[in-house]
A and B are shown apart, each in its own frame.
Chain A
Amino acid sequence: MKQIKINDVQEKLEQFINKQVYVHVETTNGAYASHFNDKAYNVGAYVRNAAVTFSQAKIVGDGKVFRAGLKMEMGWIYAEGLTDWTIEDDNKLLLAGHDREGRLMVSLQISETPFRY
C-alpha cells in the first residue's frame, strides 16, 4: 500500500457513490494485546461484505492520518487512523491505518463485488 493522497482517494470514493457496494470495516489491536501487556485491552470490530449504498463520501485529514466517512440513507460508516491506500484487483479500494511497526490497526474497504469470504 502507499501513503494516502487525499485527492486521489477522494476521487476513488466518489466513483462508488449511489451504487450498491460491499464494505469491509475493521479495527484491531491484535489477539495478544493483553497477553503481552496486562494493562492493555483487546478490542476490535469487524464487518465484511456489508452491502450498502451511500450518497456522500469524504476523506479528511492533516496530510498524514486520515478519516473517511460514508453517508447512507439510514446511517453512517466511518473509520479513522487511515494512513495508506491501494486499489486491489477488480477495482477494490483498500484504506488502512498501520502502526510504526507496519501492523494494521484499522481498515475501510469498498468494492462493487464482494470481498472473498
Chain B
Amino acid sequence: MEKHVVVIYPHPDDESFGAAGTIAKFREEGVPVTYLCGTLGEMGRNMGTPTFANRETLPEIRKKELIKACEVLDIDLQMLGYRDKTVEYEDRDEVARHLKGLLEEIDPSLVITHYPDHAVHPDHNALGAAAIEAVRLMDEAKRPVVWAQAISRDYEEVLGKPDIINDVRKHFDKKMEAILCHDSQAGGILGQIKNYQQMNSEDRDAVVEQFGKEQFYTWNY
C-alpha cells in the first residue's frame, strides 16, 4: 500500500479529468493524497455556459471549484501560486527546488504528474518536467515512484504502452462528481457530459470509455 500520494498538475480540473479515479481508489484504501496545484487556471478561455465569469473574476471562481473538487475527492490541497500559461517561462530549476522542498516535507511514496513533452499544454509539460527533476534531486533512498501521464494524440506510438493502466469504472461517479465541480469550465468537454446520467446507453458507454481508464508511465530514473 502507498504511504502518501502527491499529485502535481498545473490547473484546477487537471486532477479531476486526469486522475480522479486513481485518487478515489487510493482514498478508498485509506492512503492520504495531496494535490499540489500549480496555478488557478487564471487564463482559461471557458467562462461558464452561459458565461458567468470574466478574466478578473475567473481565478477566485476556479479556486472555489478546486477546493470543492478536493473536498469531493477527500484530499489535501496546496496551491503553488504560479500563473496559468507562464509556468514554462519560470526558471525550471527554481520550480524543481520549490517542489523538492514540498515533497521532502510530505514524504510521499508516489508522485503523479504529467509526462514532459507529451502532455499538450505548455504548463503540463513544464510542471511535469519540474516535478520529475524535483524527485531526481532528492536523496535516492527517499525518492518516491513517479507516474507520468501523457495526453498527446500520438503518445502510445512514441512512448509505447503505458505500464500503469487503472480501470477506474468503479469510481466513475466520483470522478464525474469531481469533474463537474469545475463548473466554469463547462463550455468544452464538460458541456457534453454534464447530463451523462440521463444519456442513452451508447453515449454513456462512450463517456465511460473516455474517462474510465487512467494511464501512466512509471518514470525511469
Q: A-B pairs with CB below 8 Å: how many?
A: 64
Classify the interface of chain B: helix, strand, loop or mixed.
loop
In the complex, what residues of B have CB within 8 A of residue A98's CB? Answer: 47, 51
B45 CB contact (under 8 Å) in A84, A86, A94, A103: A103
CB distance from A35 to the nearest CB of B (A): 5
In the complex, what residues of A have CB within 8 A of residue B54's CB? Answer: 1, 86, 88, 94, 96
In the complex, what residues of B have CB within 8 A of residue A104's CB? Answer: 45, 47, 55
Which listed segment binds B: A13-21, A26-34, A62-70, A72-80? Answer: A26-34
Q: Mark B119-135, 1 if CB is under 8 A from A, else 0.
A: 01111000000000000
Residues of B in contact (CB 8 Å), total 24
Residue on B nearest A99 in the bound complex, by CB: B45
In the complex, what residues of A have CB within 8 A of residue B85's CB? Answer: 31, 46
**Bound state CA distance, A103 and B54, in angstroms?**
10
Classify the interface of chain A: helix, strand, loop or mixed.
strand
Known A-B contacts A46-B85, A109-B56, A116-B56; the reply to A31 vs B122 at CB < 8 A is yes
The chain A residues found within 8 Å of chain B, CB to CB, are 1, 24, 26, 28-32, 35, 38, 46, 84, 86, 88-89, 92, 94, 96, 98, 101-105, 107, 109, 115-117
Known contacts A31-B123, A98-B51; 17 additional CB pairs below 8 A are A26-B43, A28-B45, A30-B45, A31-B85, A38-B153, A46-B43, A84-B51, A96-B55, A101-B49, A101-B191, A102-B51, A103-B45, A103-B188, A104-B47, A104-B55, A109-B55, A116-B59
